[in-house]
Every structure is written in C-alpha cells, then in structure tokens.
Chain A
C-alpha cells in the first residue's frame, strides 16, 4: 500500500472527530479538515448533500461517477442506457440523501446498490437482459479526478484490489458471483445457465464470497 493510501486512511473523516497523527504536532486535537468540501469523506458529503449542498453532490459525483458508469456499462452493454442510469442514480442520491443510514453500509455501496437496482429495473422494463460477458483480466485503466488526486488514487486502488480478488477466484466460483451480481440471475437461473445442480451453485457462491472477504481483508480493503 502506498504512503498516500496510508495517509488517506488516517485522514478519513467520519462522525467522530479525528486526531492528527503524532508526527504532526502543530495541530491541536479535535481539528477537522472540513474546510474544503473536496476533502470531506463520503459520509460527511452525504450530510451536506442532505442539507441541499449541490457542491457536495458534485464532489461525490466526481469521485464515483466513473465507477458507476463502468458498473452500468458492464450490466447493460448499452452506453446510452448506462448514461441515463448514471444520471438517475446521482439524482436519487441528491433526493434521498437524508434517508441514507450508516447501517446500510458505506455511501459508495449505497450508491452502487442504487445503480445496480436501476439496471435490473431497466431490464425488466425493456424485457431484455444482455448476454453475460466475462471480463477476465480487465484493462487496468485508472481514472484520475481533477478535484482530489489522492481520493482518485484511493479509488483506483480499490478497483485494483477487487479486480485482483476476482481474478484469484476459481473461474467456476467467479462465474457464479458475476452472473448473480452483474446479471441479476437467481440461483435457479444460474444453475440452468452453467448447467450444474442448485446445490453446486450454493457451494460455489458461498466459497467465492468467503474467499473474496478473506482476500480483501488481507489487502486492507476498506470502502
């Protein structure tokens, strides 16, 4: 993990006030770094978005729009539809930020959940579902936002970690996870698609997620 990433881990703001690391004693305790909205963590951005701060939403958009777009493109295979879903996703974040609860996970996972559900609804409305395309290795492209270079790097790190975790999964297990997550297939549909018994699907899914958890934990992955 890079030094930038380590610093970012210590600098993440949440509901509790941070203390500055001991190496920098010029700052007093309980000093927050919230003077620049671009420096705010996702959780505080959500608070500001709930208050109607459009700038906060813009920062949130700059951080996660590419990931949401990538997710939507992978699920829909339709750029125009993916753009529509991306805009609708952030609009819903704007409208419903006050209903976000930390119990649901991180703001990013909440965001991706909204996008994913909108993609599934899109399939249902148009009575289509693209054929699964398995991206085995990915192109490794990194996205850099002009607002917050460190955060963009951090995001890029997350992408790499997760992608690597997926690559390390046995193909059979990875397929089950991808069919469920990216194509919204049920257990039965997965069993029919890959022509295995339902019990096998259960086993592969359980093992895949277990390995994913363990791998990401070992990589220090944090949302």
Chain B
C-alpha cells in the first residue's frame, strides 16, 4: 500500500481533508479495493466519537419549535401525498351516481349547444355564398382600380426615388453647411483673437510714456530738413524754368546770329550793292539797306529805327513791281533796339523789281498795301 495515501485515511474518516486530498483517496480506493475495508472501519470508529461528548438535553421549546415546523410541512406534504390521493379516490367512488347524472346533464347541454352551433354554421355558410357573389360582381369593377393603383404605385416609386435623391442632396448641403459653419467659427475666433491683440496693442500704445525731448528735437530737425528739401525743390524748379528760358533765348540768339552770318555772307559777296530804304513821314527815323546783286534772287535786308509793335502786328517787307504790284517778301523781325534783318528770296532776280517797302500789317488780316500804308520805301536799281 501507498504509505502516504493511507496516512490520509484517518483524516478522511475525520472529515478534515481537502477536496483534492479526498479525491486522491477515492482514486486510491478505486485502484486498491482492499483498502476500502480499512477506510470503512476507520470511518465507523470515527463516527462513534460523537458519543464522547457529554450529552446535554436541549430546552423543550426547541422541540416544540421543531415539531411545529415539521407538522406544518407534513400538512403541506399531505395535500399531495399518496395516502391523501387514496382517500380522494375513495370519496370519488362514492360520488359516482351523482357524477353520472351530472355527466348526462352535461351531455344534453352539449348536444343542444352543438345543434345551435350547427345552425349558426349553416347561416354563416349562406352568408359566405352571398358574399362570394358580391365579390365576383365587384371584381369586374376592380380592374380599373387595379390599373389606377398600379399607376399610383409607379408614381409613388418615382416620388420615392426623387425623395431619396433630395435627401442625398440635403445631406451633401448639410455637410457643406457644417464645413462653412466650422470655418466661420474659426474665422470668428481668429477675428476675435486679432481684435484682442489689437486692443492689447492699443492699450500698450496708450500706456506708452510721452516722447522724450530728444525725440521732439529730432522730430523738429526732421521737420526743418523736410522744409529745406521742399525749398530746394522749389529752387530747382525755378532754376529749371530759368534754364528753359535761357535755352529759348539761346536758340533765338543763335537764330539771330545765323541770320546775321547769312547777311554777312551777302554783304561780303562780290557784285552786291546796297539799295537804300528810308522811313516815310509816318516813321521818318527808320533807315535800312537791301544788300543784294540785282541779278540774284536773294538779298539781305537790314533795318533800324523800327519801334516794337503791339501783339498781332508785324513789319511786312514788300517788293514792288511796276506792273504786278506789291509782292510779299517776308516779315522783318525787329529787336528791342529797333534793328531787324531779313533774307529776301523772291524766287526771281531782285533787279526785276522796281521798289521795296515796309508796312505794318495785322497777322490775322489779308494785307492790302498801298503807297500810303508804307512806312519805309526805297528804289531798286537793276
């Protein structure tokens, strides 16, 4: 025998083994049936140990309580006990005649009831036949209704489809709306943050101390420099205007110098003759010469003593032909000293003309020269 397991036998009998240990003993007993006798003997000996305790009578109330509980349970059991069912059957047997009579009455009542039910069934069947006829008649009128129902079904299906599409659109729009709403919230939040930042900056600026004296001085200097720059700009503009005037004057002088050079060319050309022109009684102080070769078509006119004219008037130089009359031969420009020059170029020989003269004419009128309108006259030699 396994000494270890048999050591557990007394404690198995004493009931103080763990479940695992009890199972070990049980398994051992199965494999070693000869050990069962030992275990049973030890269990029997242990069971007697209860008698080693001194008996103590319980109080009478304990028995009363127990028996009351047991009597109540016994009474409950007797309701379904085999003994009570036996007595029920006995009682039942004595009631047979009464039961027989009662059964007969019930059978009669059942028969009457069945008869009445049968009649009612017949009536219902007649009604069913009538209803069948009615249904058959109404089925004729049903076809158009069915067609209409079918049409309505199709319309309903179409509307369902449209509704479904509308719902999808709504979902899409709702999604877009949610996105925009979210972005709006974000922008509002950003704006609010910026407003707060701006307020902070504004508050910060308002709390800044007054500018220092150095800063004021610097600002004054800056202002003065700005004024200086502005004055210089004005001076520069004036200088530029003066420069423009000087350029114009220079151009005019250059033009006069050019004209005088041209006149000098004529004056120094061989075979040229001066032909005098003098002022008339209208302007007796005027003097001049036309220096030209009578055989040439070009000459140079030099005049002096002509006063400046009012605006809109000019000194017109005329070449006079005995038969063809007065021929315009150019405008004489006169300076502030009353001196004027003119290159005459009549496109024909100077010698072909008989006389020359100068009149004062309005620029916007067609001249009508006469001898009397001449303020200077002179003869031309051929």
Q: How far is the CA of A94 from the CA of B13 in the complex (A)?
A: 25
In the complex, the answer to whether A57 meets B70 with C-beta atoms within 8 Å is yes
Q: How far is the CB of A156 from chain B (nearest CB, A)?
A: 8
- Chain B residues contacting A202 (CB-CB under 8 Å) are 7, 10
In the complex, the answer to whether B16 meets A143 with C-beta atoms within 8 Å is no
> Chain B binding site: helix, strand, loop or mixed by DSSP?
helix
Q: How far is the CA of A141 from the CA of B54 in the complex (A)?
A: 7
Q: How far is the CA of A161 from the CA of B58 in the complex (A)?
A: 23
Does A153 interact with chain B (Cβ within 8 Å)? no
CB < 8 Å neighbour of A105 from B14, B15, B43: B43
Given contacts A58-B67, A86-B58, contact A216 B14 (CB under 8 A): no
Question: Which chain A residue has the least Cβ–Cβ distance from B69?
Answer: A91
Q: How far is the CB of B10 from chain A (nearest CB, A)?
A: 4
In the complex, the answer to whether B42 meets A213 with C-beta atoms within 8 Å is yes
Chain B residues 11-61 with CB under 8 Å of chain A are 11, 13-18, 41-59
Q: How far is the CB of A130 from chain B (nearest CB, A)?
A: 13
In the complex, the answer to whether A206 meets B7 with C-beta atoms within 8 Å is yes
Given contacts A61-B63, A105-B43, contact A52 B51 (CB under 8 A): no
In the complex, the answer to whether A66 meets B45 with C-beta atoms within 8 Å is no
Q: How far is the CB of A145 from chain B (nearest CB, A)?
A: 9
Q: How far is the CA of A161 from the CA of B49 in the complex (A)?
A: 10
Q: How far is the CB of B190 from chain A (nearest CB, A)?
A: 68
In the complex, the answer to whether A212 meets B48 with C-beta atoms within 8 Å is yes
Q: How far is the CA of A95 from the CA of B149 in the complex (A)?
A: 74
Chain B residues 62-79 with CB under 8 Å of chain A are 62-63, 65-67, 69-71, 73-74, 77-78
Closest 3 CB pairs of A and B: A109-B47, A112-B50, A66-B55
Does A180 interact with chain B (Cβ within 8 Å)? yes
Given contacts A67-B51, A71-B50, contact A206 B10 (CB under 8 A): yes
- Chain A residues contacting B46 (CB-CB under 8 Å) are 181, 209, 212
Among the interface residues B55, B59, B69, B77, which one has the most CB atoms of the partner chain A within 10 A? Answer: B55
Q: How far is the CB of A21 from chain B (nearest CB, A)?
A: 27
In the complex, the answer to whether A116 meets B55 with C-beta atoms within 8 Å is no
In the complex, the answer to whether A69 meets B16 with C-beta atoms within 8 Å is no
- Chain A residues contacting B63 (CB-CB under 8 Å) are 58, 61, 65
In the complex, the answer to whether B57 meets A186 with C-beta atoms within 8 Å is no
Question: Which chain A residue has the least Cβ–Cβ distance from B71?
Answer: A54
Question: Which chain B residue has the least Cβ–Cβ distance from A221?
Answer: B48
Q: State the B residues within 8 Å of A (CB).
A: 7, 9-11, 13-18, 41-59, 62-63, 65-67, 69-71, 73-74, 77-78, 81
In the complex, the answer to whether B70 meets A83 with C-beta atoms within 8 Å is no
- Chain A residues contacting B49 (CB-CB under 8 Å) are 162, 166, 177, 181-182, 212
Chain A residues 198-223 with CB under 8 Å of chain B are 202, 205-206, 208-209, 212-213, 216, 221, 223
In the complex, the answer to whether B67 meets A54 with C-beta atoms within 8 Å is yes
In the complex, the answer to whether A74 meets B53 with C-beta atoms within 8 Å is yes
In the complex, the answer to whether B16 meets A87 with C-beta atoms within 8 Å is no
Question: Using a Cβ–Cβ cut-off of 8 Å, how many residues does chain A contribute to the interface with B?
Answer: 61
Question: Which chain B residue has the least Cβ–Cβ distance from A111?
Answer: B50
In the complex, the answer to whether B73 meets A73 with C-beta atoms within 8 Å is no
In the complex, the answer to whether B53 meets A73 with C-beta atoms within 8 Å is yes
In the complex, the answer to whether A87 meets B65 with C-beta atoms within 8 Å is yes
In the complex, the answer to whether A87 meets B71 with C-beta atoms within 8 Å is no
Interface string of A89-123 (1 = CB under 8 A from B): 01100110000000001101100110111000000
In the complex, the answer to whether B56 meets A66 with C-beta atoms within 8 Å is yes
Q: How far is the CA of A7 from the CA of B356 in the complex (A)?
A: 206
Q: How far is the CA of A106 from the CA of B40 in the complex (A)?
A: 12
Interface string of A161-175 (1 = CB under 8 A from B): 111011000000000
CB < 8 Å neighbour of B66 from A61, A67, A115, A162: A61
In the complex, the answer to whether A163 meets B51 with C-beta atoms within 8 Å is yes
Given contacts A141-B54, A187-B16, contact A158 B48 (CB under 8 A): yes
Question: Which chain B residue has the least Cβ–Cβ distance from A167?
Answer: B52
In the complex, the answer to whether A162 meets B48 with C-beta atoms within 8 Å is yes
- Chain A residues contacting B62 (CB-CB under 8 Å) are 65, 83, 86-87
- Chain A residues contacting B73 (CB-CB under 8 Å) are 94-95
Q: How far is the CA of A155 from the CA of B73 in the complex (A)?
A: 29
